[in-house]
Amino acid sequence: MNIIDYKYLETFIFTAIFGFFAIYHLLLFLVLRFKVILYYCIILVGLTAHFTLYILLFDADDNFSQLIQNTSLITAMITTFGFLIFTKNYLNITENNKPQLHKAYKILMYITITLPIIHVLYLILIGNNSFSKILELIAAITSLTTMVLNIISGIKLFHAEKFNKYYLYSYTPYLLASILYIGTWLLGYFFNIKTDNILLITSTLITLQILLFSILIGFKFKSIEDDNKRIQLDANNRLAYEVDRQTKQLQLAKNELEFQNKELETVNELKNKIFSLLTHDVRGPLNNVSVLIGLIENELVDTPLKQITAKLKSDVNDRVSMVNTLLDWSYKQMEGVKVNKEQCDLNDIFNTVIKEFEWAVKDKNITVEQEILCQSIFIDPNMLKVILRNLLSNAIKFSENGKRIILSSQCTPTIVEIRVKDFGLGMNTDWQNSTENNSGPTVRKGTIGEKGTGFGLMITKDFVEMNGGEIICKSEINKGTEFILSFKNSTNEPVKPHI
């Protein structure tokens, strides 16, 4: 085998080794997705391309040989760029922890990118080799500077992380190969010394360095994996502790909530008993007192005593009206109040409510008329009585002696309307906004000084809406007021008008 064949075989073997490692680490990057492996691939690709050029030189003519030599600057800068970005990432050099080193690496990376671009543009536009030689010299100096910077970084960060010192050890073969290769190249450049036997030594050293770097990367990521497992285990332990702590707190909160619920149930039971007591033992007797005073007043002649009983009767009626309103309001405030709808006879309900105000109507000589054009409605009967009681009480309270009050009902196939109309003092129709804004009830006095709390209309509005209805107020001062209650017919049967 002659010397040319031997060199060709030697170059081919080392090129194949570098290419194999390049493909292997590229596949490793695609699996693991660690950037440092990709940066290492750049080194291997640059070396593979650089040594491929030596293979092409064996059978190349003068023109092609010159082209290959011009291309070697590009492959050398690719390898140098790979070493810069790989070392910077491997040693974790950032602008925050090592600003000066980070700046040096950025400058060198810009140079390794810029040199090939200038080199290619110069060859395309001018084609003179004299300036290319200068660029090649700058490229060699850049490679030497990169090697020195990597060594300085490895020394400065020797103890920064566990595997940094191994980086410096693994870098030794490449350091020797670079010094030998670049030093021999410079001697050959300036003194025309033959460098044929240098290729074997540098190739062997670079191959050794690749093996060491590959082993180092493997150990580094094994360490990273172990650290990640430890961190995950610590995180799981902290999470388990926090979950246990939160669970205990939730259990304590649950126990406290159960205790409070039991207390609330006790309070609600007490509230229901008090409400029942007020309803049966307070409202009833007050109504009886009012009736009794009215009977006594009728038996008295026109004496000062009769005037006193009249005043007493008025005061008692005011208090009865106030108690009724407050009890209705209290009932509305009770938790768990449900709307129990049923088909109701409006004639019976109207008569029941009118009868409750028999004495008040007689005192003012007021006539209560009924116009029932719709006989029935699907509604909660107790709530409807409260609604009509409040509206009729207000109508009587704000009507002059001898006036009329009209209770009426009318309907369509889908709507039932109930109206309460008086011809008294009238009122402000903006009362609904006051209740919605929670500004509180407005207290007004009736035509003979009757007192009102203002709760009646608030309760009326709420009870109407609880039954799915709508309330409309029409009023003119000194001409009267009309309340229109509209309810949907919720049954499957059509509303039957009164005949």
Residue ranges of domains in the chain: 3-239, 340-488
- Residue 364 near residue 398 (C-beta atoms within 8 A): no
Measured from the Cβ of residue 235, the count of other Cβ atoms closer than 10 Å reads 10
Architecture of domain 3-239: Up-down Bundle (1.20)
pLDDT at 1: 42
Question: What is the full per-residue pLDDT of the chain (499 aa) written as tens digits?
Answer: 444 466 677 778 878 888 887 888 788 788 777 787 788 888 888 888 887 877 776 665 666 666 677 788 888 889 889 888 988 887 888 888 889 999 999 999 999 999 989 888 887 887 666 677 788 888 888 888 888 888 888 888 877 776 666 666 666 776 677 677 666 666 665 666 565 566 667 777 777 777 777 777 777 667 767 777 788 888 888 888 888 888 888 888 888 888 888 877 776 766 665 665 555 456 556 666 766 676 676 666 666 776 677 667 766 766 666 666 666 656 555 555 678 889 999 999 999 889 888 877 887 889 999 999 999 999 989 889 889 988 998 888 889 888 999 999 999 888 999 999 999 888 877 766 555 555 444 557 777 766 665 667 877 888 898 899 999 999 888 889 999 999 987 654 444 443 3
**CA–CA dist 77, 50 (Å, integer):** 10
Q: Which residue has the tokens 């902290």?
A: 238
H helices of 91-128, where?
99-125
Q: Which residue has the tokens 């203002």?
A: 454
With CA atoms as reference, report the closest residue to 144 among 113, 107, 175, 187: 175
**CA–CA dist 6, 10 (Å, integer):** 6
Q: Tell me: domain 340-488, CATH 3.30.565.10, correct?
A: yes
**CA–CA dist 184, 336 (Å, integer):** 98
| Encoded amino acid at 44, one letter | L
| Encoded amino acid at 149, one letter | L
**CA–CA dist 163, 222 (Å, integer):** 11
